[in-house]
Amino acid sequence: MEIIFEILFEVVFEFILMVFGEVLFEVGLRSVSEPFKHRETRGPILAFIGYALAGAAVGGLSLLVFPGPLVRGVGFRGGSLIVSPLLAGAAMTGLGWLRRRQGKRLLRLDRFVYGAVFAFGMALVRFLFTS
């Protein structure tokens, strides 16, 4: 029973960290992209790769603040490698829905696939470089 709570806490803490990282990244991206509003949009494959690399970079930066696993002693290490990115993608979809209702411009990160791939890049780096 204890291991179930440890796995659940790992997923929840990773999820919170991923959503926080994505929101910070999106705020930065919005501020940088503002001068280029009227430029043509790039292809979705390039954006997919870009968000995966950006997620990996944010995951690397998060290692500076949280160098170890967020929850120690979990029997099934890496459970959040799949679950947390899916939850983060769903959260970013919800934020995109709210922005659309408010009439704000959406970024690709406000969609499920791009939010999930960003979070997966972040989770993968944290999984590979934490002991």
pLDDT in tens, 107-125: 888 889 999 999 999 889 9
Cα–Cα distances in angstroms (integers) from residue 53 to residues 7, 71, 86, 114, in the given order: 26, 25, 17, 11
CA 127 to chain centre: 14
User: Alpha-carbon distance 2 to 124, whole Å?
Assistant: 25
Task: Specify whether the CB–CB gap between 81 and 123 falls below 8 A.
Answer: yes
Q: How many CB atoms lie within 10 A of CB 75?
A: 10
Backbone angles phi, psi at 14, to 5 degrees: -65, -40
**Collapsing DSSP states into helix, strand and coil, what is residue 81?**
helix
User: Alpha-carbon distance 2 to 7, whole Å?
Assistant: 9
What pLDDT score does 35 carry?
A: 43
> Does the pTM exceed 0.85?
no
Per the model's pLDDT, the better-predicted residue between 63 and 4 turns out to be 63
Of the chain, the percentage scoring pLDDT greater than 70 comes to 79
pLDDT in tens, 63-109: 888 887 766 655 556 667 888 889 999 999 998 999 899 998 888 88
Residue 30 pLDDT grade (very low, low, confident, very high; cuts 50, 70, 90): low
